[in-house]
């Protein structure tokens, strides 16, 4: 009788012990890659992890690192200063797909060929990260975003068994060029704003691994990656599926874009400067507008460089031509037009703008192409006012 109970106990223990590592056999791990949307916040696409369980529960969950809480105290202030925390959220796969179907954004799935231990480790890691005390992280667009957090999770779960095969990538693009691919054509004004806000630190080539901050490039990296060390090497992706697909329209540059607009402004400034030269008039209203706008933009650029936690806004040499001191020049032209310092400041504007052009020419920072006519207008008006003031002395 005792032998019978002992046998039953051992069988039960073996079944219980065997269930734990076998549990991973009953779920599937996938990378979801979502196409860009029409708004700036969605123009770079999105990535998420799908955990699809089989068996009695049939849970199908999406782990999403790209969410944030609008109820965060001082939400907009933290967003502007780079202090806003994003978080890991978990939703049902059905709700996730319904949302992307509503906005007509394509979704592709890469089913990953992880072994049971790798699946278990990944799921445990994700469940730890979704705990209230751990779910928040400090967002960085290039180095700590919804895509890179996913890559990091897989690297933690798989260790050296995950090989990215970076040597297969040959193109070298700067971070700015990678951004341009997503926004230059469909959102030219947003592209201008990004180029004004971000500094020279993003004008270096991104390594193949660093390109994974963009979901499309991470999808490509997963497609090339292999798993080693647990048997014969095998591709990381064992199956690719198209979940949602919509017709893609080639982005067309709108007729109202910064290129046409700023060349039109430069033409107007050229005409009025020529008229002013011929008739001995300054048309100061043009200068109030030009230096006023560039002064306000200078405050924004200086704030992003010196007073925020954003890493991509450092060493922004746009500050050479959009400068907060231009607002002082507007005040001087309006109330102290004969003051000697005004001519000296105009010379400073000339030198700063020319230096900006030189930095652009030698590739130390890439400026948005549409600002060229604005730089020419600044040089033209500063030169015109400078010599007018010198003759008046």
Q: DSSP readout, 226-268?
A: EE-SSSS-EESEEEEEEEE--PPPPP---SS-HHHHHHHHHHH
In contact, 298 and 323? CB cutoff 8 Å: yes
Would you say residue 278 has pLDDT above 70? yes
Confidence of residue 139 (pLDDT cuts 50, 70, 90): very high
The whole-number average pLDDT for the span 300-308 is: 96
The whole-number average pLDDT for the span 280-289 is: 93
Task: Return the pLDDT at 1.
Answer: 47
Sign of the CA dihedral with 382 first, then 387, 392, and 393 last: positive
Confidence of residue 54 (pLDDT cuts 50, 70, 90): confident
Return the percentage of the chain with pLDDT > 90, whole number.
76
Provide the mean pLDDT of the chain: 90
Task: Return the pLDDT at 300.
Answer: 97
In contact, 56 and 149? CB cutoff 8 Å: no
Query: Phi, psi (5° rounding) for residue 44?
Result: -100, 5
Task: Return the pLDDT at 69.
Answer: 77
Task: Return the pLDDT at 25.
Answer: 56
Instruction: For residue 329, give every residue at least 6 positions away whose Cβ sits within 8 Å of its Cβ, in sequence order, or none.
Output: 291, 295, 342, 345, 346, 349
Domains of the chain (ranges plus CATH)? 25-169+208-244 (3.90.1720), 258-392 (no CATH)
Q: Which tokens in the block code for residue 149? A: 């957090």
Model confidence pLDDT, tens digit, residues 171-208: 689 999 999 999 988 899 999 999 999 999 999 999 99
Task: Return the pLDDT at 22.
Answer: 43
Would you say residue 4 has pLDDT above 90? no
Q: Which tokens in the block code for residue 60? A: 């199908």
The pairing of beta strand 46-53 with beta strand 107-112: unpaired
The whole-number average pLDDT for the span 112-137 is: 95
Q: Among 95-99, 168-172, 293-297, where is mean pLDDT lowest?
A: 168-172
Would you say residue 393 has pLDDT above 70? no
Model confidence pLDDT, tens digit, residues 215-236: 999 999 999 999 999 889 999 9
């Amino acid at each position: 009788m005792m032998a019978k109970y002992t046998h039953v106990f051992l069988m039960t223990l073996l079944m219980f012990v065997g269930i734990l590592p076998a549990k991973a056999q009953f779920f599937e791990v996938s990378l979801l890659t979502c196409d860009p949307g029409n708004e700036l916040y969605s123009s770079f696409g999105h990535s998420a992890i799908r955990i699809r369980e089989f068996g009695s529960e049939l849970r199908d969950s999406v782990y999403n690192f790209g969410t944030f809480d609008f109820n965060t105290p001082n939400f907009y202030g933290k967003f502007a200063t780079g202090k806003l925390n994003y978080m890991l959220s978990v939703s049902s796969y059905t709700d996730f797909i319904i949302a992307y179907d509503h906005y007509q954004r394509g979704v592709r799935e890469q089913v990953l060929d992880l072994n049971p231990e790798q699946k278990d480790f990944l799921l445990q890691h994700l469940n730890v990260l979704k705990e209230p005390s751990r779910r928040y992280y400090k967002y960085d667009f290039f180095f700590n975003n919804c895509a890179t957090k996913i890559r990091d999770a897989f690297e933690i779960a798989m260790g050296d068994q995950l090989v990215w095969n970076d040597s297969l990538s040959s193109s070298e693009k700067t971070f700015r060029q990678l951004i341009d691919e997503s926004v230059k054509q469909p959102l030219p004004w947003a592209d201008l704003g990004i180029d004004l806000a971000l500094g020279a630190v993003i004008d270096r080539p991104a390594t193949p691994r660093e390109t994974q901050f963009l979901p499309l490039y991470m999808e490509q990296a997963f497609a090339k990656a292999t798993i080693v060390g647990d048997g014969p090497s095998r591709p990381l992706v064992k199956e690719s599926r198209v979940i949602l697909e919509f017709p893609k329209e080639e982005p067309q540059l709108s007729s109202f874009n910064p290129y046409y607009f700023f060349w039109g402004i430069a033409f107007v400034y050229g005409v009025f400067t020529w008229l002013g030269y011929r008739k001995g008039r300054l048309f100061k209203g043009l200068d109030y507008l030009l230096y006023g706008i560039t002064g306000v933009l200078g405050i924004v650029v200086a704030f992003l460089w010196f007073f925020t936690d954003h890493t991509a806004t450092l060493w922004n040499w746009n500050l050479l031509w959009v400068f907060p001191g231009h607002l002082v020049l507007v005040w001087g032209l309006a109330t102290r037009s004969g003051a000697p310092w005004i001519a000296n400041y105009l010379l400073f504007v000339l030198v700063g703008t020319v230096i900006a052009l030189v930095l652009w020419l030698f590739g130390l920072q890439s400026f948005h192409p549409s600002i060229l006519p604005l730089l020419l207008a600044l040089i033209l008006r500063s030169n015109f006012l400078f010599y007018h003031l010198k003759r008046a002395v």
